[in-house]
């Protein structure tokens, strides 16, 4: 059945927007704003939303969206599983004194999950982790952490990077979901989940709902127990090899902070996602809110783009994501950054390749500020 990208507005009390996130329609929600949602739906789902009393405005047929944005040029600018591995290997081979390539686990289709350990010392108390591409279609979320790794290596003998790498480590895993990413190159550009075969015949668990803090406590469109849904949480916490690899890394290395990139919407999200209540510890909340606001200011200072700092659940409720788990389990600052663009009409998940560089440029000072916050802390 043809599918559409549609903007949904509430027409009144009979059909409040928030309620739409809780109905079990299997919707693929792309964008959540105070006055509208953007989602991908087949025509029957769209008709049903209209019948429920929502205002459904078709922005584009999914096919025409793909032919507008998923061009050869848009593909050429981004890493593949293979070119990423080559580039990570090259960075490590060319700079053995400061970089080490580590396999942190294997995906469900047995692809290696790669991370760079950047730093002169091992076993330092100062460590930070940066990750990308939990969600296959969010290609820009590979490029920003990859470029950050490259930048750290290129500036290893310049302050402040030099001191950070002398006293600490930065771990960068740019592609947590390589199977899904490969699928977006070969088959379906808009694939989101991993490639788990579910018992009901559907495919995929959402890796960013599979972490083990408050896992599974919600059952809504944005955090679903229905295997065929885009946000399927999996049969149990850490059921997936990709999230187990991240869990094992974080459990072993005791990071002082974790930054994970996604797209799109231009947001800086801090815990909690599973509840609308704030982080209970006021000092932690102040630290994370302050850092998120600093990052927002630093990003805006580069090209004038607004990335809104907010609690994750203000976007939509999610249980079992990386950011809640890192803070909930380890009590250290953790953020999800939703990269460019701001809207579906600017490409949504398919960011034009000529925006990779400016997107990285504007995120660089914010990422460095986060690294500095963790790596410059006094010895514990």
Residues that bind Zn ion (CB under 5 A): 135, 138, 262
Task: Sort residue 105 into left (φ over 0), alpha (ψ -120 to 50) or beta.
Answer: left
> Which residue number, 136 or 353, has a Cβ lying nearer to Zn ion?
136
- Phi, psi angles (nearest 5°) of residue 143: -70, -40
> Which residue number, 138 or 229, has a Cβ lying nearer to Zn ion?
138
**Minimum Å distance from CB 102 to Zn ion?**
24
**Minimum Å distance from CB 262 to Zn ion?**
3
Q: How far apart are the first and last CA of the chain?
A: 58
Q: Give dist(CA 262, CA 279) in Å, integer.
A: 22
> Which residue number, 54 or 349, has a Cβ lying nearer to Zn ion?
349
**Minimum Å distance from CB 134 to Zn ion?**
6
> Which residue number, 222 or 296, has a Cβ lying nearer to Zn ion?
222
User: Annotated catalytic, 280?
Assistant: no
For the chain, give the longest Cα–Cα distance.
63
> Which residue number, 130 or 156, has a Cβ lying nearer to Zn ion?
130
> Residue for token digits 């510890």?
281
Of the residues 143, 305, 338, 362, which is catalytic?
Answer: 338
**Minimum Å distance from CB 348 to Zn ion?**
12
Structure tokens at 189: 């550009």
**Minimum Å distance from CB 260 to Zn ion?**
9
In what order do the strands lie in the sheet containing 28-32?
28-32, 37-42, 3-9, 55-61
Give the CB-nearest residue to Zn ion. Answer: 262
> Which residue number, 111 or 135, has a Cβ lying nearer to Zn ion?
135
**Minimum Å distance from CB 89 to Zn ion?**
26
Structure tokens at 239: 């059921």
Positions marked active-site: 338
């Amino acid at each position: 059945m043809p599918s559409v990208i549609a903007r949904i507005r509430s027409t009144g009390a009979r059909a409040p927007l928030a309620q739409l996130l809780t109905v079990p329609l299997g919707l693929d929600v792309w964008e959540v704003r105070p006055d509208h949602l953007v989602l991908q739906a087949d025509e029957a789902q769209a008709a049903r939303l209209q019948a429920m009393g929502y205002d459904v405005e078709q922005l584009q047929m999914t096919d025409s969206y793909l032919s507008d944005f998923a061009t050869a040029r848009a593909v050429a600018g981004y890493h593949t599983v293979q070119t990423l591995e080559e580039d990570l290997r090259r960075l490590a081979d060319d700079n053995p004194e400061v970089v080490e390539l580590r396999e942190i686990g294997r995906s469900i289709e047995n692809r290696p999950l790669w991370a760079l350990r950047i730093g002169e010392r091992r076993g330092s108390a100062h460590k930070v982790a940066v990750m990308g591409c939990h969600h296959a279609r969010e290609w820009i979320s590979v490029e920003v952490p990859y470029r950050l790794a490259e930048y750290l290596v290129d500036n290893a003998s310049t302050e402040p990077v030099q001191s950070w790498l002398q006293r600490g480590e930065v771990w960068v895993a740019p592609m947590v979901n390589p199977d899904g990413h490969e699928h977006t190159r070969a088959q379906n550009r808009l694939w989101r989940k991993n490639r788990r075969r579910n018992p009901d015949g559907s495919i995929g668990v959402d890796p960013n709902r599979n972490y083990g803090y408050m896992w599974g406590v919600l059952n809504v469109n944005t955090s679903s127990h229905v295997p065929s849904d885009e946000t399927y949480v999996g049969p149990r916490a850490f059921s997936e090899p990709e999230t187990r690899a991240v869990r094992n890394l974080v459990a072993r290395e005791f990071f002082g902070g974790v930054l994970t990139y996604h797209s799109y919407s231009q947001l800086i999200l801090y815990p909690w996602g599973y509840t609308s209540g704030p982080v209970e510890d006021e000092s932690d909340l102040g630290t994370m809110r302050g850092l998120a606001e600093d990052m927002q200011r630093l990003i805006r200072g580069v090209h004038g783009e607004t990335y809104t700092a907010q609690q994750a659940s203000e976007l939509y409720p999610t249980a079992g994501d990386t950011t809640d788990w890192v803070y909930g389990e380890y009590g250290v600052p953790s953020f999800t950054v939703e990269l460019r663009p701001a809207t579906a009409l600017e490409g949504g998940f398919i960011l034009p390749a000529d925006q990779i560089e400016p997107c990285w440029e504007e995120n660089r000072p914010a990422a460095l500020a986060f690294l500095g916050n963790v790596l410059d802390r006094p010895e514990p």
